[in-house]
Amino acid sequence: MSGMMKLSIAVLLAMVAGHVMAVEDSVDVKVTGKIVPPACVPVVSGGAVFDYGTIKAASLKPDNYTVLNIKSLNFTVKCDAPMKIAFKTTDVRKDSGFPAPSGIKFLGAPIDGEPLSGLGMVNDISVGGYALGLVGSSYLADGSTVTAIHSNDNGVSWKKGGGWLLDDNKLNSVASSQNLAMPIPLTTLTATISAQAILNKGSELDLTKTINLDGMSTIQVLYL
């Protein structure tokens, strides 16, 4: 092999070795993560269960609805930062719900014709219904008293009153007494959430068997 050929091979090998060394001496470093918007977490005391316990079949009215007592729990919403929020309610047992009967007060007020959330079905018959709400509650936002407001147009406009957590497409929020036309930003909201149920007419139900009350509603926090 000539001297020129030896030199060419030596140069080529040196170039290849240098290239391999450069790859082995490098490392890719990544910086990852994500920025998330502030969030609010709702909490209901007592495991969020309104328990009516055992109800004797003989206590049901045969030809009228049986009104049960009001049950109340603590309701708290905590946010990462001051935010304007609202609540929307969905009845998970909507197929067993029905309009509130005329003349019956729920949480201290008549709501004739408003949708009651359902307590489940037995043999295609509704067991009963219930109203859920923050009605009559003393709302505190960051320690200050605030007023319940509601919207019928998905938050475009707001009116004083409300607090009912019904599956009626209404939004509920709170405002300061100085400006009831707009929800206020808050980091902590405390209130009392209450439920009141009525049972279907005893003559409509098979009272020879155990009937479970199976109501469930989802309260969604919306960010405005």
Domain ranges within the chain, ordered by starting residue = 40-223
- pLDDT, residue 65, reads 96
- pLDDT, residue 72, reads 95
- pLDDT, residue 33, reads 79
| pLDDT above 80: residue 199 | yes
Q: Which one has a higher pLDDT value, 50 or 7?
A: 50
| pLDDT above 50: residue 10 | no
Q: Which one has a higher pLDDT value, 11 or 201?
A: 201
For the entire predicted model, the pTM comes to: 0.83
CB-facing half-sphere around the CA of 216: CA atoms within 13 A: 8
| pLDDT above 60: residue 6 | no
Mean per-residue pLDDT of the chain: 88
- Over residues 19-71, the pLDDT tens digits come to 555 556 888 888 877 877 779 999 999 999 999 999 999 999 999 999 999 99
List of long-range contacts for 35-41, beta carbons under 8 Å, 24+ apart = 37/223, 38/79, 38/80, 38/81, 38/83, 39/79, 39/80, 40/77, 40/78, 40/79, 40/80, 40/83, 40/85, 40/221, 40/223, 41/77, 41/78, 41/79
pLDDT interval class at 11 (50, 70, 90): very low
Which CATH code fits 40-223? 2.60.40
55, two tokens = 């109800």
